[in-house]
Amino acid sequence: MKKILTTLLTALIISTTTCQAQMANGKWQNDLRSLFLQNKSIIYVINIRTFNAKDKNGNEIIDNDEESGNFLNAIDRLDELSKMGVNTIHILPITPVGKIKALGNAGSVYAISDFTSLNPQFKSPNSPLSINEQAKQFIDACHKRNIRVIVDLPSCGSYDLFINHPEFFVKDESGQPIIPLDWTDVRVLNTGNNGQIDEDMYYQHKKFVDLAMEIGADGIRADVATMRTYAFWNKLIKYTRSKDPEFMFLAEASNAWTEAPSKYAPFTTYDKLLNAGFDGYYGDFFNLKNWTTSKELMASLKHNQKIYNTQHKTVIGSFTTHDETSPILVKGADFSKMIIWLNTTLPLNSYYVDGFATGDDYDYSWANKKAATTYTDDEYYFNHKGKFDLFNFSRKPGGTDKSIYDEFIMANKFKNYYLDELSTMKFIPLKTNLKNIFAYARSNGDLSVIVIGNLDFEKPAKAIVKVKGLNQNNKYINLRLKRNITPEIQNGKITTELNPGDIQVLLFKNFTVKD
C-alpha cells in the first residue's frame, strides 16, 4: 500500500493532465456548460487591460511609452495558465468604457458605453488586424491550449451611454438616471419590469451575445444578474442556447443578497435566475472571511448541494473575487491556502482572480493620487484598497509568495488528475470536537478525500474528527506536502494538530467514507 501511495503522489507532482481538448477537424467544440455543470471548471479571472501590461519602470502604472495589456500580448501568458492547471478564464468586460463622470485614468471596465463593439483600449497597436480579429485570435489561442473563455456582461451603463441613449435607462421622478448604491460612474439600465421586457435593451443584449459568439466565447458571466428580470434572462438565454446549447451562463447572484442596489431596479432572486436558465451562481462563500464556526460553512455547502441535487445547477468558489479585498490583507497567506484547497476539494467550480496565486495584495502606491496622465474626466487614479484594479492603466497583477504558488500548482494538479472522480464523489460532512473546526469527506468507490480545517486564524487547535470504519491500517497521502504533521488514526477517529487557519487534505485509497 505504501508503494502505491508513493507512486500516486509522484504522479500528482509531475502530472500536467487537463480536460481533453474539444477539437473536431481542427475546429473548437464548446463544452463549457457540460464542464461547468459537472464542477470541472478551474476558472481564472483576468482583466485584459492589466493581464500582460508592460510596466518597464516598475512604478505600477502604464505610462505613455509603455504597453498596456491587450488581446495580442495576453496570448503570451496563456502557457503560464496552462501550467497552473487553469481550464477556463473569465475575462472582465471587453466592451468600450465611458469617459464622462468616470473613475480612474482609464475608466471602469464595468462602465459600458456600447454593447455592440469591443474596447479599443484592448487593441494592440503592433498589428494591422481589427480589434475583433485580435480578440478572436486571443480566444483561438485559448482554445488551442484547451482553455474555455467566459466573457463578462456589465449590469449598468456609463454616463456616456446615457447621453447618447437616454431611452436605455431607468429614471427617477425628476427624469434623472439612477445611480446604484455608490457606483457613481454608472447608471441603471431599463431592461423591463413586471413581466415586460424593454425591447430596445433586449436588442442591445442580443447583439452582445452575437458579438461574444462571433469572437468565439464559450459563456457569459452576468454582472449583478439580479438587476434584470426573470422574463428578460429567460428570453435571452433561450435565444443564446438556440445558437449554441453548450453556451454557459453564470449569474453574479447570492443567496445572501436580499435587495436590489437601487429601489428603482428590479430584483430577481438567485433561485429565479437559475430557473430562468442560468447554470450557476456565486453562492455566499465570500463570507468565509467572517465565518468562525463549522456550522456556518456547512450550512452554505448543504444549501448548494440541495440545489445541485434537485435542479442540477451549481456554484463557483467565490471565496475571493475582484470585488473582494485580497485574502493576504484579510487573514494572510494561510487564508489563501485554505481557499485553494476548498476550491479544489468541494463540489463546486474553482474560481481565482489574477494575482491570487502569488499573493498580490493589490495595495498600489499610487491609489487615489492625482494621475500623471488621464484618458477620462477623472484626474485621479481610483482604487479600492486591496482590490483588483478595474479603473486604471496599471501593472500586471502578481505577488512574490512562492509558497502560495506551490500550493496552487499542487492543488490544481490534484484536481485535474482526479477530475472525473471528484465530479461524482459524495459530499459528506464530518463531526468534529470544536465549533471552529470543520471537516468533510469526498468519497467515491475506493477513493476518499478527507479535509480538516481551523477557522480560528489566531489560535492552534487539536482536532478530533469522527470517520466511520477508519483505522490505523488505512494509509493516506497528506497533500499539504510541507506540513510536517502526522495525524493519528484509530478507532474511527482522526486526531491532529492544526495551526491557526490551517487546513489538512488527506487522500485515502481503498477506503470509502460512509454517510
Q: What CATH number is given to the structural domain containing 487?
A: 2.60.40.1180
Quick one: pLDDT at residue 2?
A: 47
Residue whose cell numbers read 447570492: 254
| CA dist., res. 97 & res. 159, Å (int) | 10
Quick check: is 361 in a domain? Answer: yes
Nearest to 437 by CA among 481, 495, 388: 495
Helices (H) and strands (E) in the chain, counts: 14, 22
24: its cell numbers: 473536431
Q: Helix, strand, or coil here: 314?
A: strand
Quick one: pLDDT at residue 515?
A: 83
Contact (Cβ atoms closer than 8 angstroms) between residue 8 and residue 477: yes
115: its cell numbers: 454593447
pLDDT, tens only, 376-435: 999 999 999 999 999 999 999 999 999 999 999 999 999 999 999 999 999 999 999 999
Query: How many CB atoms are closer than 10 A to CB 214?
Result: 11
Residue 1 has pLDDT above 50, yes or no: no
Identify whether residues 444 and 308 lie together within a single domain: no
Domain boundary among 402, 424, 446: 424
Quick one: pLDDT at residue 23?
A: 67
Residue 12 has pLDDT above 80, yes or no: no
66: its cell numbers: 509603455
DSSP letter string, 452-498: EEE--SSS-EEEEEE-TT--TT--EEES-TT-----EEETTEEEEEE
| CA dist., res. 305 & res. 327, Å (int) | 26
Span 74-81, mean pLDDT? 98
Identify whether residues 384 and 408 lie together within a single domain: yes
| CA dist., res. 5 & res. 477, Å (int) | 7
Which of 26 and 499 is assigned the larger pLDDT?
Answer: 499
**DSSP annotation of 370:** B
Identify whether residues 286 and 166 lie together within a single domain: yes
Span 146-151, mean pLDDT? 98
Q: Helix, strand, or coil here: 85?
A: coil
Identify whether residues 505 and 405 lie together within a single domain: no
Quick check: is 514 in a domain? Answer: no
To the nearest 10°, report the CA torsion of 396, 400, 401, 403. Answer: 100
Domain boundary among 424, 454, 471: 424
Residues paired with 45 in a beta bridge: 90, 353
Contact (Cβ atoms closer than 8 angstroms) between residue 511 and residue 448: yes
Question: Global pTM?
Answer: 0.96
Span 6-28, mean pLDDT? 64
Contact (Cβ atoms closer than 8 angstroms) between residue 135 and residue 70: no
Quick one: pLDDT at residue 9?
A: 58
Quick check: is 264 in a domain? Answer: yes
Nearest to 423 by CA among 439, 402, 407, 444: 444
Quick check: is 387 in a domain? Answer: yes
Give the side-chain half-sphere CA count within 13 A for 187. Answer: 23
Quick check: is 45 in a domain? Answer: yes
| CA dist., res. 305 & res. 347, Å (int) | 8
Identify whether residues 355 and 417 lie together within a single domain: yes
Domain boundary among 360, 394, 424: 424
Domain tally, the chain: 2
Span 281-289, mean pLDDT? 97
Identify whether residues 397 and 461 lie together within a single domain: no
Identify whether residues 409 and 491 lie together within a single domain: no
Span 472-488, mean pLDDT? 84
Span 310-329, mean pLDDT? 97
Identify whether residues 137 and 188 lie together within a single domain: yes
Quick check: is 416 in a domain? Answer: yes
| CA dist., res. 5 & res. 507, Å (int) | 9
Give how far Cα 320 sits from Cα of 45, 247, 307, 405, Å: 11, 25, 22, 16
Identify whether residues 413 and 433 lie together within a single domain: no
| CA dist., res. 450 & res. 472, Å (int) | 15
Which of 482 and 121 is assigned the larger pLDDT?
Answer: 121
Residue 50: CATH number of its domain: 3.20.20.80
Identify whether residues 224 and 334 lie together within a single domain: yes
Quick one: pLDDT at residue 83?
A: 97
Specify the long-range contacts of residues 241-245, CB closer than 8 Å, at least 24 apart. Answer: 241/277, 243/209, 243/213, 244/30, 244/213, 245/33
Span 52-71, mean pLDDT? 96
Domain that holds residue 489: 426-509
171: its cell numbers: 429614471
Q: Helix, strand, or coil here: 357?
A: helix
Identify whether residues 194 and 242 lie together within a single domain: yes
Identify whether residues 324 and 463 lie together within a single domain: no
Nearest to 410 by CA among 32, 83, 111, 189: 83
Span 477-494, mean pLDDT? 85
| CA dist., res. 286 & res. 202, Å (int) | 31
Residue 303 burial class via C-beta count within 10 angstroms: exposed 0-12, middle 13-18, buried 19 and up: middle
